[in-house]
Amino acid sequence: MKTLNTFLIFIVVSIQSFSQADYNNFLKYYGVQINTGITFFDLQPLKDNFRYTVENFNRNYNLPLQIQKSYPANISWGANVFWYINQRASIVIGTEYTSSRAFSLYEDYSGTLDLKSEIKMYYLYIGFRFHIVETPIVQPFMGMNVGLAKADIDLEVDLNISNSLIKENDHSENSDTGYNIEPYIGCNYNLDFVVLEFVASYNTVHLEKFLIEPNTFNIKLGVKVGVFK
Amino acid sequence: MKKYVVLLLLGFLCLNSCTLVTEPERFYNDKAYPPELYYFNFENLQPGQHVDGTIVIYFNPLNIDYEFEVIRAAVDSVWENAFYGLPCTLHLDTRRYSEGLHSISFGVYRKDKPHGLLNMFGIASTIFETQLYFDRTPPDKVSLTVKKESDDGIELNWSESTCQTFFSYLIYKSVENGEYKVIDTINSRTHTNYIDRDGVGLIGAKYSYKVAVTTDYKNTFQTLSDSADIKVGNALIYPFTRFKGGPYLNDENQRVFFLVDRKMIVINTMNDSIFAEIDISNMITQDEYIDFQFNNDKSKIYLLKYEQKKLWVLDSQSFQVLKEVTLIDCNAWYYILDDSRIMFNYGSELKIININTNQIENEVSLFDSVYINSAVISPDNTKMILNWRRNLPNIPTYFYIAEMDITNNEFTILRMNEFNNYLRIERSGDMICGDGVDFYELSSLVLSKSVPFSKYVLVYSTNGDKVSRCTDNIYLIPDIREINCYYIDLYNLQNQKIKDWYILSWVRNLQLGQNKIFIGFGKNNILGYSLKFGE
């Protein structure tokens, strides 16, 4: 991940240094875009499940386990390709990845007990974007992505008593697929050589088997470069 | 402006160069602490002690000051039993486990376990543990002796057991070859004597004892000692073929006489030794019987063979024959009036015969339809108390008592009174006793005192102001058995019991066998006999 970030920073700085293009977003072009952002999860059933697991240890074994983290907001990464079909509308095809984790880590004189859970979300989508008004530097737009969603959920219980005298590990993995719909609004900021993009979206996810609906509120910052037609 | 946007972009990218959700530090529970293990000495069980069978462990530790949900007892860490309160008692059958050293533990499971992750393994908060050796070696046999400790006690002594799994001594008792039953348990190895005071007063009975060494409280495994026997009272065994009569008590000389076969046997009542055996084969054959009577002062013995009318008078000390006479007349019911006269009872007629002249001195007829029951001669041979009944048609039977003057042969009735129906009367000082119950003043022949008795009196004997009676009874030996016996009591005339005895009554089980009970007052003793003959 750090390598990727370094690479992107290198591209941005390089482009800023060498590119003198004065292009307008509303011209027809095609290009690539890289997004990163923060995903705010709505995972109440999953949080309840993790809390129930912890409370079971509290109740059954009188262990004062605490929920230290319960699926907080986390970063997301994505990439897409786009092309303008006219001066204001474009088509986007992309992918996105985000995740979050929950922790309850315990230790006493006899050993350690770690409860860890992680949810990973993968999206593959196609979208339509429409620029609302034409302004020189900041151009607001709105759009919607629709695509396939895949969720991986892991739960790991790791017990270690008396320096591995008793060592138990219970690891469960579950996967499910579904679809997602992600309406969003955002705006472009034209830096002449690249275009920065700020997007706020709400991603509604429907999975086939899981009872959870890992909907997310996202804030994304994107960088896109393209080629004029 | 664009420069700032670029910087913002760079900052955002740096922020997102790693995940926001990092692994937190572990929470450390510093209030958890490990369980406690104590090596515990259970009551009566020392560590390493050899045990066998089912053992009882009483568990009540003092240092449990928390609320617990359960106490689990375990053998070699395998759960055996659960308890929910203190104190608790574990009954452990050691035979369910292999022979050898085993650990016994009690785990106290606290309600709010503070042992951290070990709580997940159901570990006890406090464990009390000891080790015991499950031993299958059979217990050893002890050597037992018994002796009379006192009139009401039999003392048992035995050798100390060397059994490592010793739990207790069991005292077994049997009476008259009956079933052995446990009468007591002694849990101390060094306690090797016992005095049995329960039901050991049955005179003549054989008491048998055994002592077992057991290895557990259920007495599952035990080794019995050889039996040791003792008899209460001294039985005198005299071999004979045919019993002819007795006992005849001479309380003046502490002698008792028996007639067997063709002999007269004299036994010293003070030491149960045979004083003399007098050959009377010149008087009777093996199949003949002869009647035995003392005179009033018991200085002479009268032997009468009434079928042949033969009478012998013997000195009761030297057993010399003083007189031998063939009587002019006689029957089986006679009384010795004095040295020269005897009186025969012919129902309603008394016949006085002088044995010196062999002449009938007089024949005294009483009233019509009179049947004489019994008679008693006064010590000075001057008076006779006579007891008879009179049966007349259509009126009730009357019983009478009369005193007669026997100084001459007229037998004048001095006094007469109505009487009760007694089988036997006996003179006791200045009173006449009927059947050991009613006492009549000799001077007035009026009922003076009664010593009532609810059961049928088999025999009785009086002496001054005391009466001793014998009845059939049951001798109860606690938890062992009930035995048919004779019961002899001694009362004064104020109806106060002075003492009592139980004498074994022998079982009539042989063709010649029969039971006989006798009571007689001696000078200083009451002589009570239960005779067994025929075997």
Handedness of CA B110, B113, B114, B118 (dihedral sign): positive
> Could you give the domains of chain A?
21-228 (2.40.160.20)
Torsion-angle region of A71 (φ positive above 0: left; ψ -120 to 50: alpha; else: beta): left
**Could you tell me whether strands B497-504 and B202-203 are parallel, antiparallel, or unpaired per DSSP bridges?**
parallel
Residue in B5, B13, B116 nearest the CB of A110: B116
Which among A34, A59, A110, A114 is the top mutation candidate for probing chain B, defined by the most B β-carbons within 10 Å of its own β-carbon? Answer: A110
What are the tens digits of pLDDT across the range B278-287?
999 999 998 8
Residue in A9, A38, A103 nearest the CB of B24: A103
Question: Please, which residues 67-106 of chain A have a Cβ atom closer than 8 Å to chain B?
Answer: 68-69, 72-75, 77, 99-101, 103, 105-106
Q: Taking CB atoms and an 8 Å limit, are B26 and A105 in contact across chains?
A: yes
Which two structure tokens, joined as six digits, stand for B69? 């949900």
Residue in B16, B113, B119 nearest the CB of A75: B16
Mean pLDDT on A40-61 = 90
* Cα A79 versus chain centre, distance: 11
Find the helix packing angle between B2-15 and A2-18, rounded to 10°: 170
Which pLDDT does position B372 carry in this prediction? 84
What are the tens digits of pLDDT across the range B310-334?
999 999 999 999 999 999 988 888 9
**Contact residues on chain B for A116, CB-CB shorter than 8 A:** 23
Same fold, B36-134 and B144-231: yes
What are the tens digits of pLDDT across the range A57-116?
999 898 999 999 999 999 999 999 998 888 788 999 999 999 999 999 999 999 999 999
Lowest-pLDDT range of B233-237, B411-415, B496-500: B233-237
Which pLDDT does position A15 carry in this prediction? 46
Chain B: give the shortest CA distance to residue A45, in Å. 19
Which pLDDT does position A193 carry in this prediction? 75
CA-closest candidate to residue B311, choices B332, B296, B297: B332
- Is pLDDT at A13 greater than 70 in this prediction? no
Q: Taking CB atoms and an 8 Å limit, are A36 and B14 in contact across chains?
A: no
Position A23 confidence tier, pLDDT thresholds 50, 70, 90: very low
Position B393 confidence tier, pLDDT thresholds 50, 70, 90: confident
Q: Where are the domains of chain B?
A: 36-134, 144-231, 422-535
Position A129 confidence tier, pLDDT thresholds 50, 70, 90: very high
- Is pLDDT at A22 greater than 60 in this prediction? no
Which pLDDT does position B94 carry in this prediction? 92
ipTM confidence score: 0.81
Half-sphere exposure of B211 (CA within 13 A, CB side): 27
**Contact residues on chain B for A58, CB-CB shorter than 8 A:** none
Which pLDDT does position B134 carry in this prediction? 94
A142 vs B: CB within 8 A = no
Which two structure tokens, joined as six digits, stand for A153? 């959920």
- How does B357-372 read in b/e, with b if 16+ C-beta sit within 10 Å? eeeebeebebeeebeb
Position A117 confidence tier, pLDDT thresholds 50, 70, 90: very high
Chain B: give the shortest CA distance to residue A63, in Å. 6
CA-closest candidate to residue B66, choices B34, B123, B114, B105: B114
CATH fold, domain B144-231, is Immunoglobulin-like (2.60.40)
- In one-letter notation, the amino acid at residue B214 is T
Chain B residues with CB within 8 Å of chain A CB: 2, 5-6, 9-10, 12-14, 16-21, 23-34, 112-121
What are the tens digits of pLDDT across the range B49-89?
899 989 889 898 888 889 999 999 999 989 999 999 989 99
Chain A: give the shortest CA distance to residue B15, in Å. 9
- Is pLDDT at B349 greater than 80 in this prediction? yes
What is the residue-averaged pLDDT of chain B?
Answer: 87
Which pLDDT does position A21 carry in this prediction? 41
**Contact residues on chain A for B119, CB-CB shorter than 8 A:** 61-63
B21 vs B183, more confident: B183
Distance (Å, rounded) from C-alpha B366 to C-alpha B375? 14
Mean pLDDT on B292-299 = 91
Residue in A16, A100, A101 nearest the CB of B6: A16
Q: What 8-state DSSP symbol labels residue A51?
A: H
Q: What 8-state DSSP symbol labels residue B66?
A: S
Q: Are B435 and B421 contacting, i.e. CB atoms less than 8 angstroms apart?
A: no
Position B534 confidence tier, pLDDT thresholds 50, 70, 90: low
Q: Which residue of B has its CA nearest to A65?
A: B27
- Give percent of chain B with pLDDT exceeding 90: 40
Position B142 confidence tier, pLDDT thresholds 50, 70, 90: very high
- Give percent of chain B with pLDDT exceeding 70: 94
Which pLDDT does position A3 carry in this prediction? 47
CATH fold, domain B36-134, is Immunoglobulin-like (2.60.40)
Question: Please, which residues 148-167 of chain A have a Cβ atom closer than 8 Å to chain B?
Answer: 159, 161, 166
Mean pLDDT on A135-157 = 90
CA-closest candidate to residue B333, choices B388, B264, B285: B388
Which pLDDT does position B533 carry in this prediction? 62
> If you count residue pairs, one on A and one on B, with CB atoms under 8 Å apart, how many are there?
109
A33 vs A191, more confident: A33
Residue in B19, B23, B32 nearest the CB of A108: B32
